[in-house]
Structure 1
Amino acid sequence: MTEERFEQDNPWKEAIEKYFPEFIALLFPHVYKDIDWEKGWESLDNELQQVVRDAEVGTRRVDKLVKVWRKNGKEQWVLIHIEIQAQKDEEFPERIFVYNYRIFDRYKQPVASFAVLIDSNKSWRPTNFEYELWGSRHRLDFVTVKLLDYKKHLSELEMSDNPFAIVILAQLQT
């Protein structure tokens, strides 16, 4: 991992850990509405490092893995895999794919992968990884949020009661 990436990612990891519900509410409101917040949430970062440490694709760590429960009334929990990406990386979609599968393989629970792109490349917006061989196809679509898109909403972020809005404002000013 480059020193620059660590310096940019670490404050994000800390902010997500402290304000996870607010992070989801601001960047992924459709997900926020489906989570049973009364049941809480659990960070699984430490357990996960052993699962992905053998990955042969790019950086060998997952930014955030969280266990939540859905509001659907069933005893079901899902894993939310979050990657913060600070620069264009052609291997990034493959890394999301590999980590998503390894998480599923470990826990046998549904996994939703989300990417928050904090880079300055307006055109780089990966949303999937797939491969195909002889009619056999494997594809993962993941949800991507590009922080550059929030520059249009600076005044809304400044007036927001959501503490995670400050994190986004700070990132946009760097």
Structure 2
Amino acid sequence: MTEQLTDYDSPWKEVIELYFPRFLEFFFTQAYAEIDWTRPYEFLDTELQQLEPNAEIGRRLVDKVAKVWLLDGEEAWVLVHVEVQGQYDSQFAERMYTYNYRLFDRHKKRVISLAVLADEQANWRPSSYSYQLGGCRVSLEFPVAKLLDYEQGWEILEQTTNPFGVIVMAHLKTKATQRNPENRLQWKLSLVRRLYERGYSREDIRELFRFIDWIMVLPKELALSFKTKVRSYEEADRMRYVTSIERLAKEEGIVENARESIITVLETRFGEVPSSIVEVINKIEEPSVLKMLHKSAIAIPSIAEFQQVLDSLTSGE
């Protein structure tokens, strides 16, 4: 198991869209209090491409743009950045400023810029960007939520019924158990039990289970143990909300088909595929990684370059 193969951005994008008001309520109470939640909000992710059309979209940052209505009746924009991979980025504050002013320039509406940082450097807390020249000064200050801070306030996460309590716990424990799959299994089981105990709705249990299962990747043998334990919880409590075994079985079929597709494309384009490549592909469990490799297999010029892509993804294993 390797941290490089953990998909952080897709789960975060999904839960922010699913629980957007609860996201702001948990991390950014002032912004939450100024929005009129009786009126519909709308996500406009195509705006991101228009804000920075020539940028290569990486896998470290989750950007979301939502159009909302304020309590004073004015339309506004909420621009959310989540540094999901948790790495120091010297350009982060400047990017916050750039996206803010470009969004304002395009729509002439006020913009709320917010940032969630998942890095492990306690002192890295970018919250403003500014420069001055010739007597002219421009600046932006933006609220920041640091996930690392919640390690010191774990009881807050345990006590809240806001879905982002469980979400933050899952994210932090995924990072903390990077090299300890047995410990990750125990935390994953504990968080799933918490879903049943906190009184969440059936739909919330399903969605939060999906996030936990998606982000807390386990080696194959431990994943089987996890399924067995979850099934016993469900049967004991007569609460088959998650339907995890059936869903996971379906996902396993998707993973197997994705592996076969990659190998077939490579064989079609380059002839016999080295057994070392086949072995590595067959060990990958994450659909998002397999999807990326499938695209590479279709477009990459040579099997040697495909090997380099594969090595870059699995070098931490």
* CA positional deviation for 1:7: 2.7
Alpha carbons 2:117, 2:147 under 8 Å: kept: yes
Are residue 146 (structure 1) and residue 120 (structure 2) matched?
A: no
Alpha carbons 1:62, 1:99 under 8 Å: kept: no
Are residue 79 (structure 1) and residue 74 (structure 2) matched?
A: no
* CA positional deviation for 1:153: 2.1
Are residue 52 (structure 1) and residue 52 (structure 2) matched?
A: yes
Deviation >2 Å, runs of 4+: 3-10
Q: Which TM-score applies when normalising by structure 1? A: 0.88
Deviations 1:62-107 (A, max 9, x none): 61111111112x3x11111111112111111111111111111111
Partner in structure 1 of residue 89 of structure 2: 89
Higher helix share: 2
Moved more, 113-122 or 157-166: 157-166
- Rate the CA distance shift 1:100–1:69 in 2: closer, same or farther, 3 A: same
In structure 2, runs of 5+ residues without a counterpart are: 176-317
- Rate the CA distance shift 1:144–1:172 in 2: closer, same or farther, 3 A: same
* CA positional deviation for 1:52: 1.9
* CA positional deviation for 1:24: 0.4
Partner in structure 2 of residue 136 of structure 1: 136
Alpha carbons 1:42, 1:66 under 8 Å: kept: yes
Deviations 1:149-170 (A, max 9, x none): 1112212212211112111111
* CA positional deviation for 1:5: 10
Max Rg structure: 2
Alpha carbons 1:52, 1:62 under 8 Å: kept: no
Partner in structure 1 of residue 210 of structure 2: none
Alpha carbons 2:48, 2:63 under 8 Å: kept: no
Q: Which TM-score applies when normalising by structure 2? A: 0.50
Alpha carbons 2:130, 2:137 under 8 Å: kept: yes
SS of the aligned residue for 1:37 comes to coil
Q: Distance in 1 between matches of 2:109 and 2:4?
A: 33
Q: Distance in 2 between matches of 1:49 and 1:146?
A: 26
Higher strand share: 1
Q: Distance in 2 between matches of 1:62 and 1:96?
A: 12
Relative contact order, higher structure (CA 8 A, sep 6+): 1
- Residue type of the alignment partner of 2:33: K
- Rate the CA distance shift 1:153–1:168 in 2: closer, same or farther, 3 A: same
Partner in structure 2 of residue 161 of structure 1: 161
In structure 1, runs of 5+ residues without a counterpart are: none
- Rate the CA distance shift 1:6–1:131 in 2: closer, same or farther, 3 A: farther
- Rate the CA distance shift 1:5–1:147 in 2: closer, same or farther, 3 A: farther
Partner in structure 1 of residue 305 of structure 2: none
* CA positional deviation for 1:114: 0.7
* CA positional deviation for 1:137: 0.8
- Residue type of the alignment partner of 2:26: L
Q: Distance in 1 between matches of 2:113 and 2:162?
A: 23
The number of equivalent residue pairs is 169
- Rate the CA distance shift 1:11–1:127 in 2: closer, same or farther, 3 A: same
SS of the aligned residue for 1:7 comes to coil
